[in-house]
Amino acid sequence: MSAGAVLAALSCIAPTEAADCPRKDALGTSRVLSVDAQTTPRVGLKSFPQTLPLADHEVVLTFDDGPHPPTTSKVLAALAQECVRATFFLIGLHASQHPDMVKRIAREGHTIGHHTWSHPFMARIPFDKAKNEIDRGIAANEMALKGMSTTTPATPFFRFPYFEATPAQLDLLQSRGIVVFGADLWASDWNEMTPEQELKLVTERLAAAGKGIILFHDPKARTAAIMPAFLQYLRENGYRVVHVVPAAAPQKNADAH
Protein backbone atom coordinates (compact mmCIF):
# COMPACT_ATOMS: atom_id res chain seq x y z
CA MET A 1 0.00 0.00 0.00
CA SER A 2 1.36 3.42 -0.93
CA ALA A 3 1.93 6.14 1.65
CA GLY A 4 -0.98 8.06 0.16
CA ALA A 5 -3.27 5.06 0.44
CA VAL A 6 -2.21 4.50 4.03
CA LEU A 7 -2.94 8.10 4.91
CA ALA A 8 -6.29 7.92 3.16
CA ALA A 9 -7.17 4.75 5.04
CA LEU A 10 -6.15 6.28 8.34
CA SER A 11 -7.75 9.67 7.80
CA CYS A 12 -11.06 8.40 9.14
CA ILE A 13 -9.44 7.75 12.52
CA ALA A 14 -8.66 11.38 13.34
CA PRO A 15 -12.27 12.71 13.60
CA THR A 16 -13.17 9.92 16.02
CA GLU A 17 -10.20 10.78 18.23
CA ALA A 18 -11.09 14.46 18.10
CA ALA A 19 -14.68 13.69 19.08
CA ASP A 20 -13.42 11.73 22.08
CA CYS A 21 -11.52 14.72 23.43
CA PRO A 22 -13.49 16.43 26.22
CA ARG A 23 -11.86 19.82 25.56
CA LYS A 24 -13.06 21.35 22.31
CA ASP A 25 -10.17 23.84 22.26
CA ALA A 26 -7.48 21.22 22.89
CA LEU A 27 -4.52 20.76 20.57
CA GLY A 28 -5.56 17.17 19.86
CA THR A 29 -3.93 14.53 17.69
CA SER A 30 -4.45 15.48 14.06
CA ARG A 31 -3.77 12.12 12.43
CA VAL A 32 -2.28 8.68 12.90
CA LEU A 33 0.71 7.69 10.78
CA SER A 34 1.43 4.00 10.25
CA VAL A 35 5.17 3.30 10.05
CA ASP A 36 6.46 0.17 8.33
CA ALA A 37 10.03 -1.10 8.70
CA GLN A 38 10.00 -2.34 5.10
CA THR A 39 9.49 1.12 3.63
CA THR A 40 11.00 3.31 6.36
CA PRO A 41 13.54 1.23 8.32
CA ARG A 42 15.33 4.30 9.75
CA VAL A 43 13.99 7.80 10.27
CA GLY A 44 15.26 11.05 11.73
CA LEU A 45 17.41 13.61 9.93
CA LYS A 46 19.88 13.97 12.82
CA SER A 47 21.09 10.44 12.06
CA PHE A 48 19.70 9.29 8.72
CA PRO A 49 19.01 10.64 5.21
CA GLN A 50 15.23 10.38 5.54
CA THR A 51 12.53 11.07 8.07
CA LEU A 52 8.79 10.53 8.38
CA PRO A 53 6.51 11.96 5.67
CA LEU A 54 5.31 14.96 7.65
CA ALA A 55 3.67 18.05 6.19
CA ASP A 56 4.72 21.53 7.21
CA HIS A 57 3.81 22.24 10.85
CA GLU A 58 3.35 18.55 11.67
CA VAL A 59 5.27 17.15 14.65
CA VAL A 60 5.80 13.78 16.28
CA LEU A 61 6.46 13.96 20.02
CA THR A 62 8.87 11.39 21.47
CA PHE A 63 10.14 10.86 25.00
CA ASP A 64 13.20 8.79 26.00
CA ASP A 65 14.58 7.10 29.11
CA GLY A 66 11.42 6.55 31.14
CA PRO A 67 9.43 5.54 32.88
CA HIS A 68 10.21 7.72 35.89
CA PRO A 69 6.92 8.09 37.77
CA PRO A 70 7.42 11.54 39.39
CA THR A 71 8.03 13.25 36.05
CA THR A 72 6.49 10.83 33.54
CA SER A 73 3.15 11.25 35.32
CA LYS A 74 3.36 15.05 34.83
CA VAL A 75 4.18 14.63 31.15
CA LEU A 76 1.24 12.24 30.74
CA ALA A 77 -1.08 14.70 32.48
CA ALA A 78 -0.02 17.51 30.14
CA LEU A 79 -0.54 15.30 27.08
CA ALA A 80 -3.94 14.16 28.35
CA GLN A 81 -5.04 17.74 28.98
CA GLU A 82 -4.44 18.50 25.29
CA CYS A 83 -5.59 15.08 23.99
CA VAL A 84 -2.19 14.48 22.43
CA ARG A 85 -0.61 11.09 21.69
CA ALA A 86 3.15 10.60 21.86
CA THR A 87 5.76 7.82 21.68
CA PHE A 88 7.78 6.74 24.71
CA PHE A 89 11.07 4.91 24.18
CA LEU A 90 11.45 3.03 27.46
CA ILE A 91 14.58 1.70 29.11
CA GLY A 92 13.95 -1.93 30.04
CA LEU A 93 15.46 -1.62 33.52
CA HIS A 94 13.14 1.29 34.32
CA ALA A 95 10.13 -0.52 32.86
CA SER A 96 10.84 -3.53 35.05
CA GLN A 97 10.94 -1.26 38.11
CA HIS A 98 7.71 0.60 37.25
CA PRO A 99 5.37 -1.75 35.34
CA ASP A 100 2.27 0.15 36.45
CA MET A 101 3.57 3.29 34.76
CA VAL A 102 4.28 1.33 31.57
CA LYS A 103 0.70 0.10 31.60
CA ARG A 104 -0.57 3.64 32.18
CA ILE A 105 1.39 5.00 29.22
CA ALA A 106 -0.18 2.36 26.98
CA ARG A 107 -3.64 2.72 28.52
CA GLU A 108 -3.63 6.44 27.76
CA GLY A 109 -3.11 5.70 24.09
CA HIS A 110 0.59 6.35 23.63
CA THR A 111 2.99 4.23 21.60
CA ILE A 112 5.68 2.31 23.49
CA GLY A 113 9.04 1.91 21.80
CA HIS A 114 12.28 0.40 23.04
CA HIS A 115 15.55 1.97 24.20
CA THR A 116 17.77 -0.95 25.38
CA TRP A 117 17.99 -2.51 28.85
CA SER A 118 20.47 -0.13 30.52
CA HIS A 119 21.25 2.73 28.07
CA PRO A 120 24.88 1.94 27.15
CA PHE A 121 26.96 3.46 24.37
CA MET A 122 26.02 0.74 21.91
CA ALA A 123 28.79 1.37 19.36
CA ARG A 124 31.42 0.85 22.05
CA ILE A 125 30.44 -2.67 23.14
CA PRO A 126 30.74 -6.05 21.38
CA PHE A 127 27.94 -7.06 19.02
CA ASP A 128 26.72 -9.92 21.24
CA LYS A 129 26.47 -7.61 24.24
CA ALA A 130 24.64 -4.99 22.16
CA LYS A 131 22.20 -7.63 20.91
CA ASN A 132 21.55 -8.68 24.50
CA GLU A 133 20.87 -5.05 25.45
CA ILE A 134 18.29 -4.84 22.66
CA ASP A 135 16.64 -8.17 23.48
CA ARG A 136 16.65 -7.76 27.25
CA GLY A 137 15.19 -4.26 26.95
CA ILE A 138 12.39 -5.41 24.66
CA ALA A 139 11.64 -8.39 26.91
CA ALA A 140 11.46 -6.18 30.01
CA ASN A 141 9.10 -3.72 28.34
CA GLU A 142 6.86 -6.52 27.06
CA MET A 143 6.82 -8.13 30.51
CA ALA A 144 5.85 -4.84 32.15
CA LEU A 145 3.18 -4.23 29.55
CA LYS A 146 1.64 -7.67 29.11
CA GLY A 147 3.13 -9.92 31.77
CA MET A 148 4.84 -12.02 29.11
CA SER A 149 8.53 -11.94 28.25
CA THR A 150 9.32 -11.95 24.54
CA THR A 151 12.03 -10.46 22.35
CA THR A 152 9.52 -9.89 19.55
CA PRO A 153 8.17 -6.41 20.28
CA ALA A 154 4.47 -5.68 19.94
CA THR A 155 5.55 -2.25 18.69
CA PRO A 156 8.70 -2.69 16.58
CA PHE A 157 10.11 0.80 17.22
CA PHE A 158 13.62 1.26 18.65
CA ARG A 159 15.86 4.21 19.44
CA PHE A 160 19.57 3.89 20.14
CA PRO A 161 20.91 5.59 23.28
CA TYR A 162 22.91 8.66 22.30
CA PHE A 163 21.88 7.89 18.67
CA GLU A 164 24.99 5.72 18.52
CA ALA A 165 24.93 2.49 16.50
CA THR A 166 27.11 0.28 14.34
CA PRO A 167 26.15 -0.83 10.81
CA ALA A 168 25.80 -4.40 12.10
CA GLN A 169 23.37 -3.30 14.82
CA LEU A 170 21.32 -1.32 12.31
CA ASP A 171 21.24 -4.31 9.96
CA LEU A 172 20.14 -6.59 12.81
CA LEU A 173 17.14 -4.41 13.62
CA GLN A 174 16.22 -4.02 9.96
CA SER A 175 16.35 -7.82 9.50
CA ARG A 176 13.92 -8.15 12.42
CA GLY A 177 11.48 -5.60 11.00
CA ILE A 178 12.16 -3.02 13.71
CA VAL A 179 12.08 0.67 12.77
CA VAL A 180 15.01 2.69 14.13
CA PHE A 181 13.98 6.17 15.21
CA GLY A 182 16.39 9.05 15.26
CA ALA A 183 15.06 12.60 15.62
CA ASP A 184 14.79 15.73 13.52
CA LEU A 185 15.31 18.12 16.42
CA TRP A 186 15.68 17.94 20.17
CA ALA A 187 15.25 19.97 23.32
CA SER A 188 18.80 19.26 24.57
CA ASP A 189 17.15 18.65 27.93
CA TRP A 190 20.11 16.55 29.06
CA ASN A 191 21.98 19.84 29.53
CA GLU A 192 21.63 21.89 32.68
CA MET A 193 19.25 24.77 31.99
CA THR A 194 16.12 26.33 33.40
CA PRO A 195 12.69 25.26 32.11
CA GLU A 196 12.38 28.71 30.51
CA GLN A 197 15.64 28.20 28.64
CA GLU A 198 14.55 24.78 27.42
CA LEU A 199 11.21 26.09 26.20
CA LYS A 200 12.91 28.93 24.31
CA LEU A 201 15.46 26.56 22.79
CA VAL A 202 13.03 23.93 21.55
CA THR A 203 10.46 26.40 20.20
CA GLU A 204 13.16 28.30 18.31
CA ARG A 205 14.47 25.06 16.83
CA LEU A 206 10.98 23.98 15.84
CA ALA A 207 10.24 27.36 14.25
CA ALA A 208 13.42 27.00 12.18
CA ALA A 209 12.72 23.40 11.15
CA GLY A 210 8.98 23.87 10.58
CA LYS A 211 8.14 20.24 11.35
CA GLY A 212 9.66 16.98 12.52
CA ILE A 213 10.25 14.29 15.12
CA ILE A 214 11.03 16.02 18.42
CA LEU A 215 13.05 14.38 21.20
CA PHE A 216 12.40 15.02 24.89
CA HIS A 217 13.29 13.02 28.02
CA ASP A 218 10.36 12.46 30.37
CA PRO A 219 12.59 11.76 33.44
CA LYS A 220 13.85 15.37 33.23
CA ALA A 221 12.01 17.65 35.64
CA ARG A 222 12.58 20.67 33.39
CA THR A 223 10.87 18.89 30.51
CA ALA A 224 7.90 17.88 32.64
CA ALA A 225 7.66 21.48 33.79
CA ILE A 226 7.52 22.98 30.28
CA MET A 227 5.21 20.45 28.66
CA PRO A 228 1.94 22.37 29.22
CA ALA A 229 3.50 25.57 27.86
CA PHE A 230 5.11 23.73 24.94
CA LEU A 231 1.80 22.16 23.92
CA GLN A 232 0.16 25.57 24.23
CA TYR A 233 2.85 26.95 21.91
CA LEU A 234 2.03 24.24 19.36
CA ARG A 235 -1.67 25.01 19.56
CA GLU A 236 -1.24 28.78 19.27
CA ASN A 237 1.19 28.54 16.35
CA GLY A 238 -0.76 26.17 14.14
CA TYR A 239 1.23 22.98 14.69
CA ARG A 240 -0.46 19.59 14.40
CA VAL A 241 0.55 16.47 16.32
CA VAL A 242 0.91 13.20 14.43
CA HIS A 243 0.75 9.93 16.35
CA VAL A 244 2.98 7.16 14.99
CA VAL A 245 1.93 3.52 15.23
CA PRO A 246 3.36 0.33 13.71
CA ALA A 247 2.01 -0.87 10.40
CA ALA A 248 -0.55 -3.63 10.82
CA ALA A 249 0.64 -7.16 10.13
CA PRO A 250 -0.67 -8.62 6.85
CA GLN A 251 -4.07 -10.19 7.34
CA LYS A 252 -4.48 -13.86 6.44
CA ASN A 253 -8.12 -13.66 5.39
CA ALA A 254 -10.43 -11.33 3.54
CA ASP A 255 -12.70 -10.79 6.55
CA ALA A 256 -10.13 -8.57 8.28
CA HIS A 257 -11.09 -4.95 8.61
Q: Is 217 noted as a catalytic residue in this protein? A: yes
Identify the active-site residue in 64, 65, 184, 218. Answer: 64
Q: Is 25 noted as a catalytic residue in this protein? A: no
Q: Would you call 145 helix, strand, or coil by DSSP?
A: helix
Each residue of 133-171: b (16+ CB within 10 Å) or e? Answer: bbbbbbbbbbbbbeeeeeeebebbbbbbbebebeeebbe
**Count of CA atoms in the C-beta half-sphere (13 A) of 103:** 10
Long-range contacts: 245-249, Cβ < 8 Å, 24+? 245/32, 245/33, 245/34, 245/35, 245/111, 245/155, 246/34, 246/35, 246/36, 246/111, 246/155, 246/156, 246/157, 246/179, 247/6, 247/34, 247/35, 247/36, 247/37, 248/34
Identify the active-site residue in 68, 115, 119, 217. Answer: 217
Q: Would you call 87 helix, strand, or coil by DSSP?
A: strand
d(CA 245, CA 157): 9
Catalytic residues: 64, 217
